């Protein structure tokens, strides 16, 4: 598998991951802050066929361009069963395998930031949306978040992947887009907390709402 990242000025990350043999691709978390052509031009340049557009969760800080890209590519939109959007061609809840040629993308349920957060594991990289970020985690104080669930997602679901897996987060505000999962789990200050410490810290953690909050939730839920 190969992967190309797309980083917006406001720190949102999307990824095209693709199988070199079949040339089939999946686009994870497309953002309207990138032009749709940026994604489609990349697919064309590398001769790729887009099979899936995967939303790791309903984003509260940027508008998704999943529907626009779908019109340009005919790819299937993949969302969790609990996602409020009715635009779901493939409904997942964790445990599924989405095929790109002979290669499976494994859907892992990683709730906590929202109750419909998923991570995608391609055998070498894990795309975690906002469940696990470099040096941090997603917040748990809206979108049916749960600090208890996020603790389990970090320690059980993501913690059981091989440490040499490359973590590909859904955001980074310092320009990074990858780190070894084992290194991140060892050094992330929130992962280092005990379960009671983590739950009480996250339950008290209320950063300002993102700029686009209302509009993003509304548009991304359609």
- Residues in contact with Fe ion by CB under 5 A are 130
How far apart (Å, rounded) are the C-alpha atoms in residues 71 and 50? 12
Compute the least distance from the CB of residue 139 to Fe ion, in Å: 8
- Residue 144: which residues within 8 A CB-CB, separation 6 or more? 82, 114, 115, 116
Residue 47 or 174 with smaller CB distance to Fe ion: 174
Compute the least distance from the CB of residue 59 to Fe ion, in Å: 5
Of 206, 188, 170, 133, the residue nearest 14 (C-alpha) = 170
The backbone torsions φ and ψ at residue 80, rounded to the nearest 5 degrees and listed phi first, read -70, 150
Bridge partners (DSSP) of residue 167 are 126, 179
How far apart (Å, rounded) are the C-alpha atoms in residues 46 and 37? 14
Residue 125 or 130 with smaller CB distance to Fe ion: 130
How far apart (Å, rounded) are the C-alpha atoms in residues 63 and 179? 26
Residue 19 or 130 with smaller CB distance to Fe ion: 130
The encoded tokens of residue 59 equal: 């984003």
Residue 49 or 82 with smaller CB distance to Fe ion: 82
Residue 4 or 117 with smaller CB distance to Fe ion: 117
C-beta nearest to Fe ion: residue: 130
**Between helices 36-45 and 66-73, what is the axis angle to 10°?**
40
The backbone torsions φ and ψ at residue 166, rounded to the nearest 5 degrees and listed phi first, read -90, 120
Compute the least distance from the CB of residue 76 to Fe ion, in Å: 22
Residue 21 or 206 with smaller CB distance to Fe ion: 206
Compute the least distance from the CB of residue 143 to Fe ion, in Å: 7
């Amino acid at each position: 598998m190969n992967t190309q990242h797309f980083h917006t000025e406001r720190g949102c990350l999307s990824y095209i991951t693709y199988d070199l043999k079949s040339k089939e691709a999946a686009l994870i978390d497309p953002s309207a802050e990138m032009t749709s052509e940026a994604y489609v031009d990349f697919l064309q340049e590398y001769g790729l066929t887009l099979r899936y557009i995967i939303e790791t969760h309903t984003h509260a800080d940027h508008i998704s361009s999943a529907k626009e890209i779908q019109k340009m590519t005919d790819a299937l939109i993949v969302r969790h069963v609990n996602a409020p959007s009715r635009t779901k061609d493939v409904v997942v809840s964790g445990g599924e395998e989405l095929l790109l040629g002979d290669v499976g993308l494994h859907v892992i349920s990683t709730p906590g930031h929202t109750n419909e957060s998923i991570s995608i594991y391609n055998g070498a990289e894990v795309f975690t949306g906002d469940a696990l970020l470099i040096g941090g985690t997603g917040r748990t104080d809206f979108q049916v978040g749960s600090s208890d669930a996020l603790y389990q997602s970090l320690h059980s679901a993501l913690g059981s992947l091989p440490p040499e897996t490359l973590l590909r987060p859904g955001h980074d505000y310092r320009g990074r887009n990858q780190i070894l999962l084992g290194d991140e789990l060892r050094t992330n200050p929130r992962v280092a907390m005990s379960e009671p410490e983590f739950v009480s810290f996250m339950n008290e953690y209320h950063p300002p709402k993102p700029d686009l909050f209302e509009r993003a939730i509304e548009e991304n839920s359609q």
